[in-house]
Structure 1
Amino acid sequence: MAIPDYARLNFGTLLRAASDGNLALMECLDAATRQPRYVVCAVGRTDGEYAFTPFGHLADGNPYDAYLPPDHDDPTGLLASPAT
């Protein structure tokens, strides 16, 4: 499965911000649920003003339970969770 250009661009921006020491972890509220989220942001500075660009939030609990990895046998697919 190919990673789309917007995701590659955002990841590159995130890496540059990290290498420059321009990352912040902010406590925000989820817009839909109003639950607290801890959001990784790139920090930009212009003329003494700060801009925080959110990139994503940290996973609650065990992140291995939140995501399904790519399927090694099918480059266009993801592994399905076991049937319960």
Structure 2
Amino acid sequence: MAIPDHHSRNFQTLLRAAEDGNLALMECTDSVTGEPKYVLCAVGRDGEAYIMTPFGHLCEGDPYLAYVPPGNPETL
């Protein structure tokens, strides 16, 4: 399965932000559940204002249980 182009571009943006020291971890509120989420954001500027661009949130619990790697024969 190929990674969509827009995800690849976002990943490159995330790498540039990390290289420049422009990443932040923010506590946000899930818009559906109201639960706290810890969101990885790129930090930009618009004049004097900071712009936080969310890229994803950290998963709760054991991340090794949350995701299945591609080609894992146990899940096919």
TM-score of the two chains, using structure 1 as the length reference: 0.84
Deviation at 1:61, TM superposition (A): 1.1
Gaps spanning 5+ residues in structure 1: where? 74-78
Whichever of the two has the greater Rg, that structure is 1
Letter aligned with residue 38 of structure 1: Y
Matching residue of 2:21: 21
Query: Aligned partners of 1:41 and 1:59: how far apart in 2?
Result: 15
| Corresponding residue pairs, total | 76
* Higher share of residues assigned strand: 1
In structure 2, the residue corresponding to 1:52 is in which secondary structure?
A: strand
Query: Aligned partners of 1:4 and 1:68: how far apart in 2?
Result: 18
2:61 paired with 1:61: yes
Matching residue of 1:47: 47
Gaps spanning 5+ residues in structure 2: where? none
